[in-house]
Homo-oligomer: A and B are copies of this chain.
């Protein structure tokens, strides 16, 4: 089958053996996949990954237990060992032996098909389109914040970054009852939030007023210092950007103002799927472009350009 292979310093669409369903793995025929900033980082060498890229997808189960075959699914990306303390504590996302689809030791979804553990699959409700379903994984990452931080309801909240993740985070925090201000560089992106009644401001007009919660979703190292400066004493910074390289940071304000910084990664699929089913978040407006799998390299280049939101790959 065709698959987009990435390894340190090299990336190309190649021919790969078709995955097989065995043990607890199903084979999902990929209908649509999405490019995440992590994919762009991996292509630059992050995680030293070598394999098929891609971890946002929707597809049809093609091989596996008969009860699953033919169902349209999305899949959680952390493949836990199933036996360690983390896995037994329902925290497979932190299994120390986990493989991660398209990121650590497991082939990803920029391919005609992908193998996924059965316990990672979630059926997509009929009312959720496949375009929407591709967003379940990043939307779950936005829901993770609501699992980690409380109270969100009634809190003032600044979201830094109007890229894909920032736009999802702002919507989810608004849903959860926070008073959200989204700060970004792209008025067109922010417009998507304004249409939903969320306050927005361009970064150069932002007054940096301190709020209870500040979410760093700029994807840049400089974002964290700005986030700290805009957090009230005893407030919380949520760190969403995985910036691979070290950068200079002054954390004295974190101590002086007793600020809490919470690292936040993958989240729960179930509430994300429900939010899409109930049409509570707008993801359709985030789609910037579509490329066939054969042009995956062009798709990644396009996704890396400034101002581009979600880019789809269609096998």
Contacts and interface: CB of A to CB of B under 8 A. Distances in A.
A148 B234 CA distance: 10
Interface residues of A, number: 36
Give the oligomeric copy count: 2
Interface string A255-272: 111111111110000000
Given A257-B94, A263-B256, A243 B234 contact: no
A250 B246 CA distance: 4
Given A94-B233, A234-B94, A251-B239, A258 B148 contact: yes
User: Looking at A234, A253, A258, A261, which has the most chain B CB atoms within 10 Å of its CB?
Assistant: A258
A255 B263 contact: yes
B264 A261 contact: no
A126 interface: no
A11 B239 CA distance: 41
Given A234-B94, A248-B247, A261 B261 contact: yes
Contact of A254 (B239, B245, B247, B248): B239
A284 interface: no
Contact of A262 (B94, B242, B244, B260): B260
A69 interface: no
A252 to B, nearest CB: 5
Contacts of A250: 244-247
A152 to B, nearest CB: 16
B224 A251 contact: yes
Contacts of A259: 263
A240 interface: yes
A240 B255 contact: yes
A130 interface: no
A249 interface: yes
A254 B263 contact: yes
Contacts of A233: 86, 91, 94, 96
13 contacts: A86-B233, A94-B257, A224-B251, A240-B255, A241-B255, A242-B252, A242-B255, A243-B252, A247-B250, A249-B251, A254-B261, A258-B263, A260-B262
